[in-house]
């Protein structure tokens, strides 16, 4: 089994085991009536576990089929989530044509650009072109009543449900994420283990990697060694020939090939230490190439799992220790204790799962803490929107969670943050 497969199993297996354990525990609590827990809480937890199974199953299926399937899947989720958002408030006839553009032009176009990894375009399509078009299109309809309220509602729904969520599958299609550089002193296969044919093209010297080390002829290496050491060079290396002298041409040899008297050129050695001259070059960390598709798939899976862990632990710690409600009029179940428990628990578990990603331990801890906090803020924001409209849930599509937006609110808010933090930590790869 190769390394990417091992890392994928390390990331997916604990999630499956945890969900299986949660399912067994929920079933056991549901059958026993003397547990001391509120039956309504047990039923809610059971429904949440079922919804988490659905999310994980869909992600695994999307990874198996391919990235285009994941893009199409998230595009459908965005379409449905935007529909739920828009139906919260009644629309006027002047909004209908603008909504047509939002649903059938901007939403598919956003995911089309994500699928083709056109980052320069999908990063500005909605916040620039979409916002300006919605505002002007509603104005051209000639209806000025509650103009700001109507246009703001459409823009916010488009931003959260489509633009922000599209950065989740963008983790899977974005090919410019770069592998972290090799540590100092590491020798890449291209630099140290070249084939015989590759060595021959460099005059017998080991092949360099992507131009990191300059290529040189054996005679150049001899001169470098001779300058670094006062001892005479005793290796049997042919002297430098002047290509203008015509001697090599007269003998039928290439003007750039050294004369070796019938023997293949050997790698010059440092007389002081007896090591090849190539070894005296400084060992430096070399930049890695772009992330492979399995690595990018693990990034998306890791992001969704950490967000779900934050939601779970917010619910658990809020029920166990929650006393200080953050905003009772917005959501009486979200407490500061639940927020702290979600961030701390998500950070610990995210750091452990980060071993299956290109991130270092401190990077995985930072990312986990940030996206858990942003995901919690996203849940609070969407709760405020629901309270403003006087509804409990955005819909009834997902059993136990109301609508789609009730399930993906934290993902929507955290996806662009995770995407750009990943670009900062890994660095964009310019070779694609």
pLDDT value at residue 275: 47
DSSP string, 318-368: HHHH--SEEETTTEEEEEHHHHHHHHHHHHHHHHHHGGGSSS-HHHHHHHH
> What six digits make up the tokens of 396?
């009834």
Give the pLDDT of residue 174.
93
Nearest CA to 421 among 359, 378, 361?
359
Nearest to 65 by CA among 291, 290, 293: 293
Rounded to an integer, what distance in angstroms lies between the CA atom of residue 30 and that of residue 46?
Answer: 8
Q: d(Cα 232, Cα 256) in Å, to the nearest integer?
A: 25
> Over the chain, what is the mean pLDDT?
76
Q: Mind listing the pLDDT tens digit for each residue in 328-363?
A: 999 888 999 999 999 999 999 999 999 889 999 999
Q: What is the model's pLDDT at position 37?
A: 65
Least confident window among 279-293, 294-308, 335-349: 279-293
- b/e for 13-38, b at 16 or more Cβ within 10 A? eebeebbeebeeebeebeeeeeeeee
CA 228, 234, 239 angle in degrees (round to 5)? Answer: 85
Return the minimum-mean-pLDDT range out of 61-65, 252-256, 412-416.
252-256
Output the pLDDT for position 248: 45
pLDDT category, 430, cuts 50, 70, 90?
confident
Q: What pLDDT was estimated at residue 312?
A: 81
All residues at 6 or more sequence positions from 133 whose CB lies less than 8 Å from its CB, including other chains: 98, 101, 106
CB of 397 closer than 8 Å to CB of 403: yes
The distance of Cα 403 from the centroid of its chain, to the nearest Å, equals 26
pTM over 0.85? The answer is no
The most confident of 151-155, 234-238, 394-398, by mean pLDDT: 151-155
Q: What is the pLDDT of residue 395?
A: 54
Distance CA 133, CA 129 (A): 6
* Contacts for 333 with CB less than 8 Å, ≥ 6 apart: 318, 322
| pLDDT of 409 above 60 | yes
**Side-chain half-sphere CA neighbours of 124 within 13 A:** 4
What's the pLDDT tens digit per position in 154-173? Answer: 999 999 999 999 999 999 99
pLDDT value at position 36? 62
Altogether, the residues listed in the chain come to a count of 432
Indicate if the pLDDT at residue 412 is higher than 90: yes
Residue 29, token pair as written in the block = 């609590």
d(CA 277, CA 222): 8
Q: Between the CA atoms of 81, 82, 85 and 88, what dihedral angle is there, to the nearest 10 degrees? A: -110
Q: Given this model, what pLDDT does residue 186 score? A: 52
């Amino acid at each position: 089994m190769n390394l990417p497969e091992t890392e994928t199993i390390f990331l997916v297996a604990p999630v499956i085991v945890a969900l299986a354990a949660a399912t067994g525990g929920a079933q056991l609590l549901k059958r026993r009536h003397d547990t001391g827990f509120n039956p309504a809480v047990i039923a809610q937890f059971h429904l949440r576990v079922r919804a988490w199974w659905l999310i994980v199953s869909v992600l695994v299926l999307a990874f198996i089929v391919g990235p285009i399937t994941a893009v199409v899947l998230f595009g459908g989720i965005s379409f449905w989530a935007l529909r739920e958002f828009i139906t919260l408030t009644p629309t006027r006839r002047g909004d209908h044509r603008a909504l047509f553009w939002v649903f059938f032009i901007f939403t598919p176009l956003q995911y089309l650009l994500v699928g083709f990894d056109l980052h320069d375009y999908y990063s500005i399509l909605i916040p620039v072109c979409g916002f300006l078009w919605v505002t002007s299109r509603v104005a051209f309809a000639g209806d000025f009543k509650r103009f700001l309220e109507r246009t703001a509602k459409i823009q916010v729904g488009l931003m959260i449900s489509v633009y922000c969520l599209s950065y989740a599958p963008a983790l899977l299609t974005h090919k410019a994420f770069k592998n972290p550089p090799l540590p100092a002193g590491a020798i890449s296969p291209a630099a140290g283990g070249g084939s015989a044919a590759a060595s021959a093209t460099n005059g017998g010297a080991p092949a360099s990697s992507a131009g990191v080390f300059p290529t040189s002829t054996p005679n150049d290496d001899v001169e470098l060694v001779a300058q670094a050491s006062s001892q005479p060079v005793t290796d049997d290396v042919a002297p430098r020939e002047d290509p203008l002298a015509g001697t090599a041409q007269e003998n039928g040899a290439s003007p750039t090939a050294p004369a070796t008297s019938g023997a293949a050129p050997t790698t010059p050695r440092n007389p002081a230490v007896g090591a090849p001259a190539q070894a005296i070059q400084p060992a430096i960390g070399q930049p890695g190439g772009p992330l492979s598709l399995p690595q990018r798939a693990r990034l998306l899976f890791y992001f969704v799992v950490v967000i779900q862990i934050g939601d779970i632990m917010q619910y658990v710690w809020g029920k166990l220790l929650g006393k200080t409600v953050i905003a009772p009029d917005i959501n009486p179940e979200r407490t500061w204790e639940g927020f702290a428990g979600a961030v701390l628990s998500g950070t610990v578990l995210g750091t452990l799962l980060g071993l299956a990603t290109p991130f270092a331990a401190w990077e995985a801890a930072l990312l986990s803490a940030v996206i858990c906090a942003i995901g919690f803020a996203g849940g609070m924001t969407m709760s405020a929107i629901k309270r403003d409209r006087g509804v409990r849930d955005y819909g009834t599509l997902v059993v136990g969670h109301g609508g789609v937006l009730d399930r993906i609110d934290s993902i929507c808010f955290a996806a662009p943050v995770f995407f750009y933090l990943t670009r900062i930590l890994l660095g964009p790869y310019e070779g694609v």
